Structure 1
């Protein structure tokens, strides 16, 4: 087990609020947009989800690290969050399947964090004040110096980040002899999305974020999937143009999270930065078409603008969030394209929405 000594650390928010705690992970300094996830499990999936690239994550569950780290739980090849804020940071773990402790994992991947702070107070503050940048340091406890460093950090609003987390080279996932071929535009995809396709006998070719429709079409795909990912969707003209071409060619298309926002933008619907965003595994969503409720896994800080969708003659709303009535799903009336704002692969989370993968395969085969 990795030796560990709790050194002092400090968290400074963009509005000047300061929290004092203990160092977690590597000794150092990190910056990013601070946000919180209300999930009670799945911390490793959160750490490795590319959608969280550039963000400092506050975990509301009281214990983090208590079941260790298992490589099979990773959603990508590395930690994607910029930093961690938690209450109880547990070096010792009890799961036999675990490969290592959270501390050795963070040290190996240079992740800076802070523990032993009142995360309930912090989350209430962020909830009331909205999304903002923050800085964590366990090497410099000078508040004024940290404020000056934080002032230089850009806002998430307007940032294009998908090209920073996307694959650099195309790769295949699944069995080559599978009956269905899907082209995947990787804007920051989670592994469990690909696992859900594989479980449905799909052979997928995963393409870098800036791949053109012509390049994907040359492979001979029967359908197109637009993945989740980080950053501001309105800053992604390259992906919006690609989706416009997929739609114009009348190809079956399915988008999740960022992919949902890109589909909306490709149809003239604007997106906006949310006050806090949705991040957790218990968000209630109503499927308007089926007239039923789903408990969903979500992780997004941007959303589509309802007023624009209501004005669009070719877009039908399929899902709404029952907490704030935000748009959670759309489909095009005149094309074979639909999307959802949440994560139907739900890893972690309930599996209420995995039928959407089946719906997509049926659309492709139809």
Structure 2
């Protein structure tokens, strides 16, 4: 596929139905070039004519409108989290055609987890795909620990088994990188060529989009700021070091601190509050912080300072100007931005400008990003 064809597809993906004239104007190309592009993509089944655009004020024929096909190509995206597995079918319009959720099996072996993913994908594909559909592939979003060093996990066999069963390609990536792809091609970062996405959940991870590409690193560890040691005397991390960032700021810890210090509730470290309870607690914490409640503000500002040290380390190495924070902190999650910006400015090189924005976590973005593992090569920057 040519770069110009990718630009045409990207334009339709972003703006919806267009006439050939509108395409020529948005692309800055001649009418003849626009006609050729539309014809080629229509012949390939990617574009389809959806009828005429009514223009009562214009004499003569109404122009024909074209749009991306609903079912050519298609991609399946699956996101596996500790509690729920989400699977969906989508297209180049980023339309969710079908979606299903099922509980993730608890405490599985790698073999059981592999069989669960394969069965989920096969059942979904057999239910929603037709013989006429063109499936580009299946993208799978997994927790980072299952993706790194995939020669020691079930990933190679999972790719082969799924690909053989459905006669398609399979790609597997960490959930934070899938979410980064979602933000790039279907979310808030479309206009950005270079950005960091910091995802704060029960752990903390970073997706890096640099010069139009998603960075993985040789061992899939690019952006692992969660294991950057910030406080040498801090708690022992699961990686064996002390004071790692993810032991200082994560949603579970923030919830516990909120419950113990603000609500004056005894929350043992070993307790396991439900997702809904944590979600509501964090919304309350950040709402109080934004209102200026002293204890809530202190908790949020301290977390932001720890995060700022780690983010600045990446900025100094990569020189990427845009930072997106994604977390389930509710609409007032931006309460952490002021302290975060101050910390970045304190540690970064003077004179460099950085934009830092917070966006509430969109849970469906993981599965949508997984599907984009298979569809991203159809898009390009405009």
Greater strand share, 1 or 2?
1
TM superposition score normalised by structure 2 = 0.24
Larger radius of gyration: 2
Greater helix share, 1 or 2?
2
TM superposition score normalised by structure 1 = 0.25
Name the structure, 1 or 2, with higher relative contact order (CA <8 Å, separation 6+). 2
